[in-house]
Structure 1
């Protein structure tokens, strides 16, 4: 009987943790902006919705599209791996943006009323600590361009 109770409790607590993860990213707004003189892209992820703007003056009125469940689950896992407190201190691995070799990019996460914003880095070359998340967000924009 103790074994059954222990298994039930473990299963119940394990499922509770999964819901917590989903709630945590639901409380976040992730914004990725990349721009240079002739290029602008702003990607906003909020509550399993994605909006992409390619105009600085926001004239294009981005339309929110739903992120697939598989992509959303991957994004949840990537978000869980982040240390939000270290985002402002991350160093860019390259400096191509200084000579127009790459667009200037920034990642901003608003989570439970607090803003975590990275220093500028090269579009396509994010700091290692946020690379997987940034690449996943950029993959949404590439998918959107193909459709």
Structure 2
């Protein structure tokens, strides 16, 4: 089990600059980047964005709270289905205090339990930004 983040929630909110979820397979790449001010979804070469609501940013920071950012690269992940293109290969990246923390790759359908809330919150924040994806899961 990972220890709670070394920072208090106030420091965490001051230090986290962005949280990114990337998903890709052959011929498809989707990147969702959430900052305090903006949520941006890039699909292949098309970019969509809108303002991040304060509650969405707060919820994202809350989902990060149980994770010690320095431990992000050591969270055990599975990539069984993405190895055969049955699932997107995904990764969470956090930019905080001018340092980048990256998770290992994982199947988008089965994020590690430590990252499940983060992935869910990022996807919920980006919901409806891309018109043709607004009804997709």
The alignment's TM-score, normalised by the length of structure 2, stands at 0.78
Provide the C-alpha distance between the structure 2 equivalents of 1:34 and 1:75, rounded to a whole number of angstroms. 18
Is 1:98 the equivalent of 2:83? yes
Deviation per residue, 1:40-81 (Å, 9 max, x gap): 2001112231000001xx3x2x24311223222211211222
RMSD: 2.1
With over 3 angstroms needed to count, the CA separation of the structure-2 counterparts of 1:47 and 1:133, relative to structure 1, is same
Unaligned runs of 5+ in 2: 1-7
Give the SS at the match of 2:92: strand
User: What is the number of residues matched between the two proteins?
Assistant: 125
Picking from 8, 20, 32, the partner of 1:31 is 20
Match of 1:41 in 2: 30
**Structure (1 or 2) with the greater helix fraction:** 1
Unaligned runs of 5+ in 1: 1-16
**Structure (1 or 2) with the greater strand fraction:** 2
Provide the C-alpha distance between the structure 1 equivalents of 2:89 and 2:10, rounded to a whole number of angstroms. 35
Higher relative contact order (CA 8 A, sep 6+): 2
Q: Which runs of 4+ in 1 moved over 6 A?
A: none
Picking from 123, 130, 136, the partner of 1:138 is 123
